[in-house]
Structure 1
Amino acid sequence: MILITHEESLAISHFDTGFKRRSDEIPEYHESARAKRVVLAYLIANNNLDNYIMDNVQWMYESLSTAQDTCTLVVYYKPYASNKYLDTAEILEFQTDGYGKINGQEILKGTSLTKENIIAQAKHHQALLGIATNPSIMKENLRMMQDIAPAQSYGLIFGSHASGWLPSPNAANTRSFGWDGIQSNTIDIPELASTLEQSFPSGNLEFTLFDACMMGTAEVFYELRNATHYCVASVMETPVAGFPYDRFFINLYDDSIDYAEICNETAQYNRENNWWGTYAAVDCTAMGNMAQAIQTELTSHQSELQTIDYTQVQQYGYGDYKNFSFDVIDFISQLNGGNIPASIQSSIDQAVIAKDCLDRKEYPLMTLKIDPDRFCGMGMYLPGKNINYTWDRYCQSSIAWYNAAGWNELQP
């Protein structure tokens, strides 16, 4: 039986806007000693992913418990109304001493390792209540999380529903990242990038990992180029179970993170469960060079652009999202008669530092099949090909990649 995706599960979910408040007082946040790196997790689970995202917290805890040094995890968690362990949005703090304790208590193991006990062992801090995707709410909660655990650098995990850079089918705004409650409150990618830049003004956000669908596109990576150094994401819809944090989470505290391990372990986890998946780690600071290389190719191949059959290019969307993103290298290769220009190859090698995917024959997402030989690690929309009028308008008006990559310079 195939596990449903984050996005497909929306169709069968039923949301409840009500939630209970905690009757006991939540301790105020405090400052701890400055660490070299702290991992933050911003988890918007006020939707039908709540049980899966709660599993993710347990996996993070399991990996954190193996630390041989002091490591801190700070989690913003917005629960669904039926969550058994949290009544409202809270910030949870976990700090290991490297000697078998977390928050001064013995590490939970065996039958004691339950979600209930993990949440009970956390240090609870009152989060700023409100829509989790609202930029001002997100900024304040990220500020409090950094106050709780000051560090030289941070890693940030985002967990929720997402649909990449795409605009909402029913509104002018996008449904890019996040799904907070029945109103389907989201934050678009330009707003998210601005929020992160303001939340980490020192430029010390080392990586952002999107445990969410369809975020692995040039449009997203370029938008985040001034917000985060590295970004880990999938260009496809992702299985609801999320990343297998128990396999690699503790290594996110390393001075030099092995991003290939993250991609490989996640692909292997999906393989073991007969799912699907593409994963890549991208150096967002290299996206400027990537955009310039793409612009050169588009400008010099305008005639080929008029006749290219985009249905023959590897694409990554399924169902309503079909053709939202095409493989960058496969597209450029077809523009060049099967050849890849050196400038393009150099720019993608600089940008994509790790990648892995599952073979199309054994692990398809329904009818969507991915060819590993045509997967470069990054997707890109093709505006102006009559794929979707709303997508074209939004891409042209709101997504920085559109101008940076030279789509605006092409002759109509």
Structure 2
Amino acid sequence: MTLPRSRDFALLLLLVLPLSGCGMFHSGTNPPINGSGSLVLTVIWTGNRGDPSSPHAVRVTLYRADKLIQDVVLSRADTPSTGWTAQLESGTYRLQLAVYNNQNAIGTPVASGDITVQIVQDTPQRLNVATGGTPVALAILPEVVTLTPGQILPLSVLGVDAQGRYLLLPAGTVVRWSVSDSNVVNLQSDGVARALAPGSVAVTASVDSLGLSANASVGVQTVTREWTILVFMNAANNLEPDSVDDMNEMEQLGSTADVNIVVQWKRIAGYDSSNGDWRTTRRYYVTKDNDPETVNANLLVDMGTGVDMGNPNTLREFLQWGVRSFPARKYMVVIWNHGAGWRAYRDRLNILARGVSYDDNTGNHIRIWELPLALSVGVRWNIIAFDASLMQMLEVAYEIRNLGDYIVGSEESPPAPGYPYHRILAPVIANPNIPVRDFAAQIVTQTINYYNPDSTDNITQSALDASLIEDVAQRVDVLAQVLLRVATDHAAVAAARENAQAYAEYTFKDLWDYTEQLRTRLASSPALTDAINGVQNALSQAVIAEAHSNRRVNRSHGLSIYVPRPSEFETRYNLLAFARATHWDEWLQAQP
């Protein structure tokens, strides 16, 4: 609620109590302490009680989140001050004060402001507010602050008179804020501190018109949680409306005391004008809220324009920052955007199409062979997930096999909304100690169930054990060498290729189904049978979870591979680690 203010007499009141844990409007990380405490407010009246232009009433409105707790009016009496006490459950509250000249708090307030307080069990929180005087010093409240990365805390500046009492700054007073290290705390011009990374900074507030300044210390402590989930959300393309939906889905769950959800999000003009229609790149700490339309997550930093989300170094920088700022025992990274497997359509066809993390502002995308460098940030990823099309293929998995435990993605190009984040993250929010393998499998299950496999044509999803991708590649290498020797029947090879389960990129074939097509159509031989069985056995071990639609992609098994016609083979394929390590590229070019 915003109270109207008098243009001539409005005063600014912004105050945050110096309490442990540091109250904030959207923390989502510090659960309330069981028990109760008290808030003790003392209003010190200034001016003459007989003067109608002096303050005569203060409306006190107390909220917890958006729920109104109390609404009372403190009227001026013969005493120099008026006290008010509330017994409250432990937790964070917002106290709104409005000062009126009218005894019954009618009309326009001459001053108003919000106070964030945190009630601690068995500890009275005292707040003394005077309504006038001459400041001889300034005070930043709280004077000492300890936050954790992702938290937001509005700092406040008050005057202090010769008696040491807090005073209100006149309306229109300009406060100039500065911080010693903006990499640790992002300090906004309105005094809102956003914790970015562990460290300690000095915050200075200056009021040049008064010739006064004040200092405070803000520390950002290292807190190791069970999980940190980092989402690289490149919505600088026609998926922007879906990015807004996905942020709101994440907010249905929000970060917890055990799970951090952190997003780097870029938007673009022309697709979605909601939520301020900003067109920059931002970093958010996702907090829980019940608004399905408005993104209310904690904005940590607006990185401005010019950030290239199609550059692998941008992904690497985000992940380095995320790991340093939000340490955890387990890590998951989600690469969110259009996808095209190992290929980039724009390069091949010279038209505007899709690549991995395609940025329409810059025209760049991340190539698959650039992913290892981008993902190498000093931790082993427990889950690497691609919320993008066509990424669950052997060539992609082989590039990143040594960087994570499990790889989750889609063989096909799924519907634009992508992952239902309120579903896929629910298992880890409910049970942060869920085994990583089970969590990866749940992403598959929750995604397929959300889209209903009986009514959706293009849903595939699988989870891979990255430690077994090397074995799959070796088995495919053996198969390629056998095919080079025995696959001389042009019609049979072509039929196997053309009839294998294919996807939106028709040269991507389901690996299991392709080998089964080869088994059916080529002349049988012990070497070929053994090679095909070897690939399928390796796949059955590496694919730990798989599900798909029951219609067009019903012969999917969880991992695709590049199988073009010989005349369509792209020489850039040889840049891939998989091509260099196997004879698959030789087979593709030698197909009869």
Q: How far does residue 220 in structure 1 lie from its aligned partner after superposition?
A: 0.7
1:285-304 correspondence to structure 2 within 5 Å:
285-302=467-484, 303-304=486-487
Residue 336 of structure 1 is matched in structure 2 by: 519
Whether the aligned pair in 1 keeps the contact of 2:381 and 2:405 (CA below 8 Å) is yes
- The DSSP-based 3-state class of the residue aligned with 2:322 is helix
Q: Which of 116, 140, 154 is the equivalent residue of 2:294? A: 116
By relative contact order (CA 8 Å, sep 6+), the higher-ranking structure is 1
- Superimposed CA distance per residue, residues 63-115 of structure 1 (whole angstroms, 9 cap, x where no aligned partner): 337x6x53211111112234534442111113xxxxxxx5xxxx523xxx244
Q: CA RMSD in A?
A: 2.8
Q: How does 1:143-162 map to 2 (within 5 A)?
A: 143-162=320-339
CA contact (8 A) 1:93 1:124 kept: yes
1:26 and 1:172 mapped to 2: Cα distance?
A: 47
Contact 1:297 1:332 in 2 (8 A): no
How far off its partner does 1:215 sit? 0.5
Q: Are 1:351 and 2:537 an aligned pair?
A: no
2:314 is equivalent to residue 137 of structure 1: yes
Aligned residue in 1 for 2:579: 402
1:166 equivalenced with 2:343 (yes/no): yes
1:383–1:395 Cα contact (<8 Å) kept: no
**Secondary structure in 1 matching 2:261:** strand
Q: 2:563 aligns with which of 382, 393, 400?
A: 382
User: Which residue is 2:281 aligned to?
Assistant: 89
Query: How big is each residue's C-alpha offset from its partner over 1:326-349, in whole Å with a ceiling of 9 and x where there is no partner?
Result: 111122223233768442232112
CA distance in 1, matches of 2:571, 2:370: 18
Alignment of 1:8-407 (within 5 A): 27=194, 29-31=196-198, 32-64=222-254, 69-81=257-269, 82=273, 84-85=275-276, 86-94=278-286, 102=287, 107-109=288-290, 113-116=291-294, 118-119=296-297, 122-127=298-303, 130-170=307-347, 176-197=355-376, 199=377, 201-202=378-379, 204-252=380-428, 253-257=432-436, 258=438, 259-271=440-452, 274-276=455-457, 277-302=459-484, 303-304=486-487, 307=490, 308=493, 309-318=495-504, 321-322=505-506, 324-337=507-520, 341-360=532-551, 369-371=552-554, 374-383=555-564, 385-386=566-567, 388-389=568-569, 392-396=570-574, 398-407=575-584
**Which structure shows the higher helix fraction?**
1
Q: Is the 8 A contact 1:235 1:316 kept in 2?
A: no
Amino acid at match of 2:435: S
Return closer, same or farther for 1:134/1:35 CA change in 2, 3 Å cut-off. Answer: same
| Contact residue 224 and residue 329 of structure 2 kept, 8 A | yes
In structure 2, do the counterparts of structure 1 residues 270 and 230 end up closer, same or farther at CA, with 3 Å as the change threshold?
same
State the secondary structure of the residue aligned to 2:332.
strand
Contact 2:281 2:303 in 1 (8 A): yes
CA distance in 2, matches of 1:345, 1:123: 47
TM-score (structure 2 length as normaliser): 0.55
User: How far, CA to CA, are the matches of 2:510 and 2:503 in structure 1?
Assistant: 11
What do residues 270-327 of structure 1 show as CA deviations (whole Å, max 9, x unaligned)?
Answer: 2279333111111222111101111111212323265312454323333xx22x2111
- State the TM-score, normalized to the length of structure 1: 0.77
Unaligned runs of 5+ in 2: 1-187, 199-221, 522-528
Instruction: Give distance in 1, aligned partners of 2:334 and 2:359.
Output: 17
**Within 1, Cα distance between the matches of 2:508 and 2:553?**
13
How far is 1:26 from its partner? 7.5
Aligned partners of 2:282 and 2:299 also within 8 Å: no
- Structure 1 segments (4+ residues) deviating >6 Å: 22-26
Answer whether contact 1:189 1:220 (CA < 8 A) is retained.
yes
Larger radius of gyration, structure 1 or 2?
A: 2
- Which amino acid letter does the alignment assign opposite residue 473 of structure 2? A
* Superposed displacement of residue 180, structure 1: 1.4
CA gap 1:291/1:152 in 2 versus in 1, 3 angstroms: same
Letter in 1 for 2:265: Y
1: distance between equivalents of 2:557 and 2:581?
20
Distance 1:217 1:305, change over 3 A: farther
Alpha-carbon distance in 2 for matches of 1:330, 1:188: 27
Separation (CA, whole Å) in 2 of partners of 1:240 and 1:72: 25
Instruction: Quote how far apart the aligned CAs of 1:359 are.
Output: 1.1
1:179 offset after TM fit, Å?
2.0
Native 8 Å contact 1:167 1:394 kept in 2: no
Which whole-Å CA distance do the structure 2 matches of 1:159 and 1:149 have between them? Answer: 20
Q: Which position in structure 1 is the counterpart of 2:110?
A: none
Are 2:251 and 2:289, in contact at CA under 8 Å, matched by a contact in 1?
no
Q: What is the distance in 2 between the residues matched to 1:312 and 1:234?
A: 21
Paired with 1:335 and 1:212, the residues of 2 have a C-alpha distance of: 29
User: Identity, % of aligned pairs?
Assistant: 24
Once residues 274 and 189 of structure 2 are traced to their aligned partners in structure 1, the CA distance between those partners, rounded to angstroms, is 16
Distance 2:488 2:463 in 1: 29
Range that drifts further, 303-312 or 181-190: 303-312
Question: Would the aligned equivalents of 2:226 and 2:258 in 1 still touch at CA under 8 Å?
Answer: no
Amino acid at match of 1:275: T
Q: Which amino acid aligns with 1:348?
A: L
Distance 2:348 2:424 in 1: 38
Query: Shift of the alpha carbon at 1:175?
Result: 5.2
In structure 2, the CA distance between the partners of 1:41 and 1:336, relative to structure 1 (3 Å rule), is same
